[in-house]
Amino acid sequence: MRISCRLAASVFTALLVTAAPYLYAQATSYSDKPPLLLGAAWYPEQWPESQWDHDLSLMEAAHINVVRVGEFAWSSMEPSEGNYDFGWLDRAIALAAKHHICVVLGTPTAAPPAWLTTKYPQTLRVDENGRRAEHGNRQHFSFTDPKYLQFAHDIAEQTAIHFGHNPNVVGWQLDNEYAEPDFGPSARQQFHEWLQKKYGTVAELNRRWATAYWSQTYDNFDEIPVRENGENPALLLEWKRFVSNTWKNYSENQISAIRPHADPRQFITTNTMGWFDGFDEYTVHSVLDIAAWDDYIDSDHFDYIDNAARHDLTRGFKQKNFWVMETEPAFVNWRKTNTPLLKGQVRDMAWQAIGHGADTVEYWQWRSAPNGQEEYHGVLIGADGTPVPVYDEIRQTGEEFAKAGPAIAGTSPHADVALVNDYDSRWAITFQRHSANFDPVGEMLAFYRPLREQAQSVDMISINAPLDGYKVVELPGLNVISQATADRLMAYVRNGGHLLLGPRTAMKDEFNALQPEGQPGPLESFLGGRVDQFYALDSDVPLTGDLGTGTANIWAEQLSVQSPETKVVERYGKSNGWLDDQPAILTRQVGKGSITYVGAWLSPALLNTLTTGLLEEAGVKPILPGVLAGVEVSRRSGEGKSVLILINHNTSEEHISLPMPMRDLIGSQGSALTAVDLPGYGVAVLAAEK
């Protein structure tokens, strides 16, 4: 039981409570650097040196105190094979230091130079259809080619020898947005070796993959195709795991080059992409020091809950504070129509990141390159060197980071509820969606939304993370499950936890084969219920029961009760005949805990009601009750401090009563407040008046 739940008799108390220590959350800290950093991606190699001071002065004036440099600058760092030139980077970093700006150094391996790929064409990646990449874009390298790995190691090592003790370098970014696997000869050979190591014999692989199906039976590992589409789902799942492991090795290759030459205070990370599912982030992050991500909004308009989910996802990669390594200064260049964020939303997004545990927000990019693929992208200053309109909003944000930084230093978010993100399961569903709209991320978000609104703090975690600290754990789609995982989930419930399972849970074993005993496999007798049949839906099916009425769409499972202790919470109404009057949601109390199985993709209102009941039963309280929809409440605590961040994502002004007199750390009023009036996109950062 968490300390906070015993003490939280009132909201007043809850606001002051610092979190239980075993949730792992912790902040990044640099004794000599500001606790909250504001930054931008800066490419000094694209500009005459005579202009650098002008740029850095404008950065300093905007309270920018970190730049990321170097991540695509290989041809400037090593202009020809074995000839390194770090002089320009030395001077750029020294000049940044003069302007009180520290540096994250990127290893340039996402953009190998032309001399390298021309002399060693095997370093170029091969796509799934056998086509080798050409020079002229980026990410054109093979992540398995030994020659490429040697070059990547060498450039990382030389850079670390040069900058590993530079006091102004705070950390390292490996490569840039890992994404594209290779399907060439080295990848093929390594995949086969990896399978052999895992399965031992090809006979065992044939058994697990059920290759008698369509005469897929293999006689040797080297007959196995290397594909990410259209193959046996067991192969597809193993390919994704292999790719994850390969990116981990790819990281380790560079870490082993950097770490021996770098001060321990310099962190090593890479920049990730939210829900991107090309590999398992938990596998890759097992060898990184902190998590970082590139926060670009997912649709044409900013949806704060969607963005909140991706912050929480990233925080969960290491279960500690993270960096926003890139975000948009109002707009990007790669959507169909690159509409801007509205005035005020850039600052709103920056504070949202801090509320969710970011210790740094960096914009991509500082200044438009004079040419190149991204001329239209949002920036802080134009190619002409003059600030663009959003510069002022970012300057204001920087000023506020400086003001609130000391109160936020050493704090992080803490949550009583967790949502499990599982790559194996997301992949397994994606390979065989069965219902076109069954997007595993959409299902995660459907569960996340009411949790975020009602509990106001959610951890998103791996299935392998400890569960004990949470009052509620939700698994929207744990499609792939092993016996060991099932055992952990049952132990969690027996210890008083409340477990909520979504549709398609526990349909597959860890080889992506159907559970031999049916669904939900090893959880069936514990739940006291099973899935008799699943149906893809293309229209609404009515639901009725203890939660009231609602609908299911996209997916519906016909459930049956196997134990007298298991209760039916909702039933389907009249629909395709099969589902009529059949159970759709089951629940079973186990001591003080409970297990609930939701067999359908529920309408938002019904999922909302279900969430309310579950949180109530588990004793989960909001941080600040009674706030209007669109007002986001976050709290960071630690080191005896507690800071409340309120953001009004609505366009209209909202009045928010405070439970105690509080000081707005970024506002102009010096006196304690008992309420705040937040204009559209307004932000308040509050600490209890001492």
Interface residues toward ligand GLA, by CB under 6 A: 176-177, 294, 296, 326, 332, 364, 374, 377
- Give 326 or 524: the residue with its C-beta nearer to ligand GLA: 326
Shortest Å distance, C-beta 78 to ligand GLA: 20
Shortest Å distance, C-beta 71 to ligand GLA: 7
- Give 290 or 332: the residue with its C-beta nearer to ligand GLA: 332
Using the structure block, give the residue that is written with the tokens 């309109």.
389
Rounded to whole angstroms, the Cα distance separating 189 from 472 reads 44
**Residue 157 a catalytic site member:** no
List Cβ neighbours of 617 (8 Å cut-off, separation of 6 or more): 498, 594
- Give 67 or 584: the residue with its C-beta nearer to ligand GLA: 67
- Give 326 or 359: the residue with its C-beta nearer to ligand GLA: 326
Can you list the pairs that 427-431 forms with residues at least 24 positions away whose Cβ atoms lie under 8 Å? 427/236, 427/237, 427/240, 427/277, 428/233, 428/237, 428/479, 428/480, 428/508, 428/512, 429/477, 429/479, 429/504, 430/277, 431/233, 431/236, 431/237, 431/512
One-letter amino acid of 413: P
For 285, how many CA atoms within 13 A lie in the half-sphere containing its CB? 20
Shortest Å distance, C-beta 60 to ligand GLA: 23
Shortest Å distance, C-beta 110 to ligand GLA: 8
Rounded to whole angstroms, the Cα distance separating 186 from 172 reads 28
315 phi and psi angles, rounded to 5 deg: -60, -35
Q: Among 45, 71, 157, 177, which one carries the catalytic annotation?
A: 177
Query: Do you find a cis peptide bond into 34, omega within 30 degrees of 0?
Result: no
Rounded to whole angstroms, the Cα distance separating 188 from 225 reads 8
Rounded to whole angstroms, the Cα distance separating 235 from 232 reads 5
Rounded to whole angstroms, the Cα distance separating 96 from 514 reads 57
- Give 176 or 266: the residue with its C-beta nearer to ligand GLA: 176
- Residue of 438, 418, 420 lying closest to 428 (CA atoms): 438
> What residue number has its CB nearest to ligand GLA?
294
Rounded to whole angstroms, the Cα distance separating 13 from 213 reads 61
**Tokens read off for 404:** 């609130």
Rounded to whole angstroms, the Cα distance separating 422 from 450 reads 20
Shortest Å distance, C-beta 412 to ligand GLA: 25
- Give 60 or 374: the residue with its C-beta nearer to ligand GLA: 374
**Tokens read off for 312:** 């929480």
One-letter amino acid of 538: D
Shortest Å distance, C-beta 254 to ligand GLA: 17
- Give 177 or 664: the residue with its C-beta nearer to ligand GLA: 177
567 phi and psi angles, rounded to 5 deg: -105, 145
- Give 22 or 334: the residue with its C-beta nearer to ligand GLA: 334
Using the structure block, give the residue that is written with the tokens 């930054």.
39
Shortest Å distance, C-beta 681 to ligand GLA: 22
Shortest Å distance, C-beta 332 to ligand GLA: 4
665 phi and psi angles, rounded to 5 deg: -70, -20
Q: Among 45, 326, 474, 654, which one carries the catalytic annotation?
A: 326
Shortest Å distance, C-beta 271 to ligand GLA: 6
What are the Cα distances from residue 596, in Å, to 68, 167, 443, 509, 619? Answer: 46, 53, 16, 20, 16
What DSSP designation does 83 have? B
Rounded to whole angstroms, the Cα distance separating 63 from 41 reads 15
Shortest Å distance, C-beta 338 to ligand GLA: 10
Rounded to whole angstroms, the Cα distance separating 460 from 257 reads 32
Strand partners, 637: 412, 642
What are the Cα distances from residue 65, in Å, to 357, 379, 497, 662? Answer: 18, 17, 44, 28
- Give 43 or 431: the residue with its C-beta nearer to ligand GLA: 43
**Tokens read off for 192:** 């086969």
**Tokens read off for 364:** 């991509």
- Residue of 372, 292, 296, 354 lying closest to 330 (CA atoms): 296
**Tokens read off for 34:** 């500001």
**Residue 223 a catalytic site member:** no
Shortest Å distance, C-beta 72 to ligand GLA: 7
- Residue of 454, 619, 621 lying closest to 15 (CA atoms): 621
What DSSP designation does 120 have? -
- Among all residues, which ones are annotated catalytic? 177, 326
